[in-house]
Amino acid sequence: MKYPGRMLGEVLAHLGAKPNTIKYPYEPAVVQAGLRGKIKFFAEKCIGCKICEKDCPSDAITVNKLGDKRFECIFDLDKCIYCAQCVDSCPKKALTVTNEFELAQLDRHKLRFIFHAPDAPPAPAAQPEPPAAKTA
């Protein structure tokens, strides 16, 4: 080492200084605005056009029809590159990015997320007919 004294000075100068690093994961991370995290699907807005499926560069989305105006969206996040192309492509704003980024898993199957609209509520029960008025 050519100038050990210079290095020692730097070390001593920083001994009592506040660290420049953060303590994540022991403290919550500060998420920057615009972070593209886990995709969220709003089933009630989806029209099943499959544009998101076609535009996804990673083949990470599958949209299936479940019934009349009911669709499910399957995300394979182990394939997702978080480009948000699907969000930009969706004509109904049925997809959005969240700031959820802690998605690491040892089992890739746990990165499959299936979203679908809840079943339609049952139709209200038919009301009994009022009794016919008696005639004399």
**In the complex, which residues of this chain contact ligand SF4 (CB under 6 A)?**
39, 46-52, 56-58, 60-61, 63, 73, 80-86, 89-90, 92, 94-95
Distance CA 116, CA 41 (A): 8
Nearer to ligand SF4 by Cβ, of 82 and 116: the residue is 82
Nearer to ligand SF4 by Cβ, of 20 and 44: the residue is 44
CA 72 to chain centre: 14
- Report in angstroms how near the CB of residue 104 gets to ligand SF4 at its nearest: 16
Nearer to ligand SF4 by Cβ, of 84 and 103: the residue is 84
Please state the φ and ψ torsions of residue 66, each to the nearest 5 degrees: -105, -25
